[in-house]
Amino acid sequence: MSQKLGEDKASKRKRKAPKLSVVAERPQGVVISLARGQGKDANGLTAKQEAFAQGVGSRGETLAAAYRAAYDAEGMSPAAIHVAACRLMDNASVALRVNALVAAKQASASHDAARIRRHVIDRLHAESMDPDNPPAARVRSLELLGKLDVVQAFRERVATEQVDAAPADLAATLEARLRAVLGKAG
């Protein structure tokens, strides 16, 4: 009987053992999720820490919202949640993961923006050259191309002049210029 009891405990221990495997290098942003109680992932984070990092880094959630989503915060006051989320963010591994996720998100966004910008420029160029388009549409395409910050064909240039003079001299100069402008208009 005692031998059977010992076998039951041994079989339970075997079932509870985490099923981890060594993971080769993986591309940035690829998430390896763990089930509860499986230890740490390739980033050195538990499943809850990874969920928190994903919330903050990938989805842009606040620390408190990410903490509530990843951990059981029921019964915790908002202040306690804030403190726990800040402490979690102080963990070097969590902070590194959040920074990596934010960097990946920003790189993706800048790539998307550059791709869209290139598409818009290409389409405007094609529309401006298409002889089947009405002349007004071609002119408008050229106008929009000219307004691009790279081209700046329609940029207004304002020149400023710095005058080092006494206030009385400035007032006299302004009055003279006003008389000249009003004299031309009248």
pLDDT at position 64: 92
| DSSP code per residue over 114-139 | HHHHHHHHHHHHHHHH-TTS-HHHHH
Rounded Cα–Cα distance for residues 170 and 162 (Å): 11
pLDDT of residue 68: 93
Mean pLDDT estimate for the chain: 78
Q: Is the pLDDT of residue 120 over 90?
A: no
Token pair belonging to 153: 């064909």
Residue 21: the pLDDT is: 47
Distances (CA, A) of 38 to 16, 18, 129: 9, 5, 61
What pLDDT digit, counting tens, does each position of 75-103 carry? Answer: 999 999 999 999 999 999 999 999 999 98
Q: Would you state the structure tokens that stand for residue 67, as one six-digit string?
A: 């903490």
Query: How far apart are alpha carbons 61 and 90 in whole angstroms?
Result: 17
∠ at Cα 85 (80, 89), nearest 5°?
Answer: 150
pLDDT band per the 50, 70, 90 thresholds, residue 174: confident
Give the DSSP letter of residue 101: H
pLDDT higher at 171 or 152 = 171
User: What pLDDT shows up at residue 162?
Assistant: 75
- Give tens-digit pLDDT for 8-36: 555 555 555 445 444 444 445 455 554 55
| Pairwise CA distance, residues 63 & 73, whole Å | 13
pLDDT of residue 169: 85
Q: What is the pTM of this model?
A: 0.45
Q: How far apart are CA 13 and CA 109, in angstroms?
A: 47
